[in-house]
Amino acid sequence: MKTNTFIHKTLYPRRMVFPAFILYTILFMIPTVMGIYYAFTNWNIYSDAIHFNGLDNFKVLFIDQSFKYVRPITNTVVFAFFTSVLEAVIGLSLAIMLNRKIFSRNTLRSVFFMPQAISTIVIGIIFTTILHPTGLLNNFLDLIGLDFLQQNWLTNTATAMPSVIAVEVWRYFGLNMVIFLAGLQGIDQSYYEAARIDGANSWNLFVKITIPFIMPAVTINTVLNIVHGFRAFDIVYALTNGGPGNATEVIATMVYREYSAGNYGLSNAMNLILLIMTTVISVLVNRATSKREVTL
Amino acid sequence: MRRKKGFSILLQIVCWAFSLIVLVPFVLILLNSLKPSAEAAFFSMSLPSEFKWDNYVNAFVKGHVLRGYYNSLVMSSASAIIGVVFAALASFIIVRSTNFTNKVLYGYFFFGVVATGNMVTTTMIMSKLHLMNSITGAILLLATQGISFAMLLFTGFIKGIPRELDEAAVMDGAKAETLFFRIIFPLLKPVTVTGIMLNFLGAWNGFETQLYILTDSKKWGAILSMYGVYGEFSSPWSKDWGLISAYIVLTIIPVLIVYLIGQKYIIEGMTAGAVKG
């Protein structure tokens, strides 16, 4: 036993964790913890002394100027909800199609995943031109005789948010697809054959076999989608910068706006709300979906 | 049987039609990059009336494309290598030695996959450490941002490597680091390549980090330099879309090359890590 512990310690010394630990602690954990502290202070560019001011920042966010700060929070929730659902639905549909033995499956997979490799800011600028009043989308609607649908997609209050959501979905459905595809490919075909012999129809097969087996993929996609949705910054910054008005303002863009204005305490308070939302939702989703996973 | 084949062809058509949604924006930007400014402002899919290669020349001259490439290349490769090597070392210990401290450490690192970073306090720490507006600072921060996800990949992969290999090495009396770099690290090659490529792409495309950290435009990477041109050289009401499109194509090309070469590693590694993790 003693020699085992000795071997263990010489083989797996803790010092090998240190490089990652030090970097991660100094540049990620300490800023995160400090941010929590500053969320409860008056820290801003104009004051010399930073002092604790309790929940004052949160009062400003939720009460004083009601909609200026509450709107970005509701926008973030709406954005995360719709992007998560659409990305997963489109991703799963494509994964099911590609899971069949179709020619050019790998090429299609690469094409669908490609937006993941491209900078969000670049995607934002490209879609600014597509959604421009004289841009590709409106030209296309004109071409197919749906010109009455033409819009100033990004500057109209009603269509700005759906447009930003659509671009985010464009960016992420491929990631969902590859993760679902990996899940689908892990299902042993003999389950389907056995069930078919017992007289199950396609819907039964999907609900009773496919869904339970891809639950791990559902969990990981849902968590990633929600986290990406909550954190969204670049895409909003490039497409609308929060406008028109604050129709597409989300928490991350508001954090940057308050930071640029020198309201560091307030900026940190918004960031803390984002941190809590992200952590809580990820834990909840993980709990809720992991119960239904099939373990082999 | 014939019905099945017909169905497969139908699926194929549906998939390719859907893929146009991904491909068209790239074709659009390529076409626009070759058009004169006035024509590019129509944002249409038509072929250029004349091929204006000057857009690319202008991008190189006015937009400092080469400087952006150089900065991006330095920051992305250095941060990817640092992040991945550190993550691999830590993952090996955390997976192999499953005591309480290491379980806590796993949760500690995993928190970074989920939690949002705080750029405001990060810039504060960075300036205390004299790392603001420095390429070294950007490299260290970008490396840190890649550590958590890389650890998710490595921990999943290392679980599949038999322990007997480690014990064989201890008989030779090798040091832990020697064992790791001689025997274990080569076995991690597929996931290392995935990690390096993902972190490389993440750093190349990481706009927000550079926006906060690098105030001197001479230190900007390709994407931020392009965004500078997007905002600076053209007023909002009359942007030179030909020039901007050419610049965008130039910032995308290196990334697409990495993606096309490494797509097998990127896609398969990412899904394996995600599904197992």
- Judge whether residue A1 has pLDDT over 70: no
- Judge whether residue B121 has pLDDT over 50: yes
Contact B22/A115, CB-based, under 8 Å? yes
Q: Tell me what pLDDT residue B277 has.
A: 44
Contact B114/A8, CB-based, under 8 Å? no
The arithmetic mean of pLDDT across residues B185-209, rounded, is: 89
- Judge whether residue A169 has pLDDT over 90: yes
Q: Tell me what pLDDT residue B95 has.
A: 92
Which pLDDT band holds residue B76 (cuts at 50, 70, 90)?
very high
Q: Which residues of B touch A132 (CB under 8 A)?
A: 43
Which 8-state DSSP code applies to residue A17? G
| Chain A residue with the nearest C-alpha to that of B179 | A11
* pLDDT tens per residue across span A124-154: 999 998 998 888 899 889 889 888 888 889 9
Paired strand residues for A52: A41
Paired strand residues for A41: A52
CATH number at residue B123: 1.10.3720.10
Which pLDDT band holds residue A95 (cuts at 50, 70, 90)?
very high
Asked, for residue B65, whether it belongs to a domain, the answer is: no
Determine phi and psi for A52, rounding to 5 degrees.
-70, 130
Tokens read off for A55: 């929940």
* pLDDT tens per residue across span A15-40: 999 999 999 999 999 999 999 999 99
Asked, for residue B231, whether it belongs to a domain, the answer is: no
**B211-248: b or e for each residue (b if 16 or more CB lie within 10 Å)?**
bbbbeeeebbbbbbbbbbbbeebeeeeebbbbbbbbbb
Residue A48's contacts (CB-CB under 8 Å, 6 or more residues apart) are none
Total domains, chain B: 1
* pLDDT tens per residue across span A225-274: 998 999 999 899 989 988 898 899 999 999 989 988 989 999 999 999 99
Asked, for residue B157, whether it belongs to a domain, the answer is: yes
Asked, for residue B27, whether it belongs to a domain, the answer is: no
| Of the partner residues A23, A32, A121, the one whose CB lies closest to the CB of residue B223 | A121
- Judge whether residue A295 has pLDDT over 50: no
Q: Which residues of A touch B238 (CB under 8 A)?
A: none
The arithmetic mean of pLDDT across residues B212-230, rounded, is: 89
Nearest in space to A251 (alpha carbons), one of A243, A238, A262, A242: A242
| Of the partner residues B101, B118, B141, the one whose CB lies closest to the CB of residue A35 | B118
Asked, for residue B86, whether it belongs to a domain, the answer is: yes
Contact B23/A113, CB-based, under 8 Å? no
Q: Tell me what pLDDT residue B132 has.
A: 94
* pLDDT tens per residue across span B20-67: 999 999 999 999 999 888 788 777 788 888 888 888 988 888 778 899
Contact B93/A14, CB-based, under 8 Å? yes
Asked, for residue B28, whether it belongs to a domain, the answer is: no
- Judge whether residue B169 has pLDDT over 70: no
| Of the partner residues A12, A30, A108, the one whose CB lies closest to the CB of residue B176 | A12
How many whole angstroms separate alpha carbon A164 and alpha carbon A185? 32
Q: Domains of chain A: which residue ranges?
A: 59-290
* pLDDT tens per residue across span A71-94: 999 999 999 999 999 999 999 999
Which pLDDT band holds residue B117 (cuts at 50, 70, 90)?
confident
Full domain range(s) for residue B162: 70-220+255-276
Please say whether the beta carbons of A11 and B166 come within 8 A. Answer: yes
A221, B151, B270 from A285: Cα distances, Å: 10, 21, 20
| Of the partner residues A11, A21, A110, the one whose CB lies closest to the CB of residue B170 | A11
Q: Which residues of B touch A175 (CB under 8 A)?
A: 270
The arithmetic mean of pLDDT across residues B96-117, rounded, is: 88
Domain A59-290 fold is MetI-like fold (1.10.3720)
Question: Mind spelling out the 3-state secondary structure of chain B?
Answer: CHHHHHHHHHHHHHHHHHHHHHHHHHHHHHHHCCCCHHHHCCCCCCCCCCCCCHHHHHHHHHCCHHHHHHHHHHHHHHHHHHHHHHHHHHHHHHHHCCCHHHHHHHHHHHHHHHCCCCHHHHHHHHHHCCCCCCHHHHHHHHHHHHHHHHHHHHHHHHCCCCCHHHHHHHHCCCCHHHHHHHHHHHHCHHHHHHHHHHHHHHHHHCHHHHHHHCCCHHHCCHHHHHHHHHHHCCCHHHCCHHHHHHHHHHHHHHHHHHHHHHHHHHHHHHHHHHHHC
